[in-house]
Amino acid sequence: MISIYAWLSKALAEEYQELRLIKEGPRGSVRRIRHRTSGKEFILRRFTGNPEVYQKLLDYTCPHLPTIYEVASRGQDNLVVEEFVRGDTLGSLLQGSLFTVEETKRIVRQVCRALWVLHSIGAVHRDVKPENIILRDRQAVLIDFDAARFHKPENQNDTQILGTVGFAAPEQYGLSQSDIRTDIYALGVLINVMLTGEHPSRELTRGRLGRVVDRCTHVNPQRRYKNVLRLMEALS
């Protein structure tokens, strides 16, 4: 019996055309593809790791998350076909200029809504950063769940250290297990970078948002906001 992984690999090769290699690294690749008949475009991810968060998201829709259409695995190798979100990443936009306070609050609140979906199913993104947020007109979409995992209360720390330096919380370096407050740490760094262009350890944004960032990025997770709803309230 043909495996779902083999079937999907064959279908992708026969029915889809590769348009562009977006990124490639030791853990996998991301490609923009197009269905030859319908002309509809998708994102194809190949990565090594645990696909459980992608599999869970097959059952969920949210305007601030890409729709996941197919997930197939063979051992540690995974294929994911997801919605192609047309727009610019925050990372590319930040190369041109910073964001205003109101723009920052609006975008971060939308990212919080995406994270609320992930956190409600027990998942932690673990790699919230400007390059993983796409602005589709005025709508922020959080992408890339390759580093995401489900929180396991019985574990003392993460089994694999993943994340991006500067945005990764201290616990992601083996101090303890990451949980939803790990993503809140990254959101604090994100707010500061959108307003100042700098990590809060180098330049903390001023005023009330500076206090919000300071609480988000506390070394002790228990001193951070309890969840993204509390952070959204602080940004209102």
pLDDT tens, position by position, 138-161 = 999 999 999 899 866 655 444 454
Written as one string, the DSSP assignment of 6-44 is: HHHHHHHHHHEEEEEEEEEETTEEEEEEEETTT--EEEE
Q: Is the pLDDT of residue 107 over 70?
A: yes
Please state, rounded to an integer, the average pLDDT across all residues of the chain.
91
Calpha distance 142→35 (Å, rounded)? 24
CATH topology assigned to domain 12-83: Phosphorylase Kinase; domain 1 (3.30.200)
Helix runs in the chain, H state only: 4-15, 52-57, 90-94, 101-120, 180-196, 207-216, 228-235
pLDDT tens, position by position, 184-217 = 999 999 999 999 999 999 999 999 999 999 999 9
Question: What is the pLDDT, as a whole number, of residue 100?
Answer: 97
- Catalytic site includes residue 146: no
Question: What is the pLDDT, as a whole number, of residue 60?
Answer: 94
Tell me yes or no: is domain 88-235 CATH 1.10.510.10. yes
Question: What is the pLDDT, as a whole number, of residue 154?
Answer: 56
pLDDT tens, position by position, 27-47 = 899 999 999 999 999 999 999
Give residue limits of the domains in the chain: 12-83, 88-235
Neighbours of 74 (CB within 10 A): 13
> Is 88-235 in the same CATH topology as 12-83?
no
Tokens of 117: 């979906």
pLDDT tens, position by position, 7-32 = 888 888 999 999 999 999 888 999 99
Catalytic residue among 59, 77, 127, 146: 127
